[in-house]
Chains A and B, each alone.
Chain A
Amino acid sequence: MQELPGGFVPDWVSLVLIYWALAFPVRMGVPIAWVTGLIVDIITLGIPGAHAFTKSVIVYITGSLALRIRAFPIWQQSVVVFLLLSLELASLVIISGLTGEAITGMHRWTAVVVGALVWPLIYHVLRRSRHSSNLRGS
């Protein structure tokens, strides 16, 4: 009854950042993730720095392990994405708890699961767009 459709929507920004960190680990680094996270924080009227923090962390991890993750089959990549998104959510919950803003409950984990499930889709769509614009991975 009282569920917003928003509860199931994954964090597209993180998913796209993870993809580009896999494709271009050198060019798509922590600075871009930090700035993107800050923009997310500012335009959603959140705590400035919270998403900047979490997105820097997940892009750093993705970039460091990019060569290994790229060799994984797609379902295994989904597992990695699930772990990354969970890490992001856990740190967001901790940050919002420390700052005294509203902590929201377990429902956010649905968004994490959905994010991992749509990862194959994201992967194929973005790879096609990358190939059609002739960007070469490193």
Chain B
Amino acid sequence: MVPHAKSGFWRGLAPYLLSSILLISAYMHVGAVKVAASSLAVIGIPIHFVASLPSMTLAAMQGRLITTDQLRRQFEFLREQNLILRARLQRFEFLENENNRLRELLQATPQAVEKVTLAQLVAVNPDLGSLTVLVNKGSADDVYIGQPVIDAGGIVGQVTKSSLFTSKISLITEESQAVPVQVVRSGVRAILYGGGKNRTLRVMYLDRNVDIQPDDVLVSSGLGEIYPPGYPVAVVTAVERNVAESFMNIEAKPMSHLGRDREVLLLWPTQLKSSDHGSDAIVEEKSE
């Protein structure tokens, strides 16, 4: 009567468990299996499409239901915003030129601005709400592993896996993630560690007497060669100096929206060259 009783554990379940275990260990140790898995991920495209249908129709309906008045107001707002941003950009361009000139004087290569691509979040939830998101750009769009991802607020995370048309972004809040940062106000360098879901980011291993305080903005320092320098990462929320410990407890809050926006930006930094020259310059200084 009980259906599996006929086949039982050894014939009904054990072979499948064994093959899963073999597959997992093959994935861990054989590189070809990883490549095969990421190319097989192409079968997900129709599934991703179907999963995105409800939100797409919702967005389309919102577009239909919007009134001319609202549209006009939105247009006005965007036009103003655009003007302000353009005014700021003029100043930025001026500063960039000046910066490049100064770098030439110092014989350091200017830090080239990178290619940027917009990627949309895929409406499939990877792995029970872990601290990763899937986006609709993959190795077909030259996405590579370790690629920095930002949004309007700041750094979101880095690409940790990519298939042909999708890639997985690990957010900076993940426990295994760390971002080399610099305090804008004082120039102190530190490393920002992810704390996990619903926990704050932490700056670790900073001496008690280091100059850092709440509301300090942390930007990426460019060390570690994953994140390009100068992008905002987090704001310090609490600094706790304990006399009994040699390091401070520092908490920080991410500035980006961490993939809650529907779009993120993928960056292609060209920092390798500049960092090479940077190290050359240091060597020269030492030899002198």
**Which residues from chain A sit less than 8 Å from chain B, CB to CB?**
1-11, 25-26, 29-31, 34, 37-39, 41-50, 52-53, 56-57, 60, 63-67, 89, 92, 95, 99-100, 102-105, 107-108, 111, 138
Contact = CB atoms under 8 A, between A and B. Distances in A.
Nearest to A109: B128
Interface of B: 1-5, 9, 12-13, 16-17, 19-24, 27-28, 33, 37-38, 40-41, 43-44, 47-48, 124-134, 161-163, 166-168, 170, 173-176, 196-200, 253-254, 258-260
Contact of B20 (A31, A52, A89, A107): A52
Contacts of B126: 44-46
Contacts of A89: 128
A99 B170 CA distance: 17
B128 A49 contact: no
Given A7-B129, A64-B2, A104 B197 contact: yes
Given A4-B259, A104-B197, 10 more contacts: A4-B258, A6-B128, A26-B3, A38-B23, A39-B43, A43-B41, A44-B124, A45-B126, A48-B23, A48-B33
B23 A2 contact: no
Contacts of A108: 128-130
B173 A2 contact: yes
A105 B194 CA distance: 12
Contacts of A63: 3-4
A29 B20 contact: no
A31 B132 CA distance: 29
Given A44-B127, A108-B128, A49 B20 contact: yes
Nearest to A106: B197
Contacts of A37: 20
B131 to A, nearest CB: 6
Contacts of A105: 175, 196-197
B33 A9 contact: no
Contacts of A67: 1-2
A45 B163 contact: yes
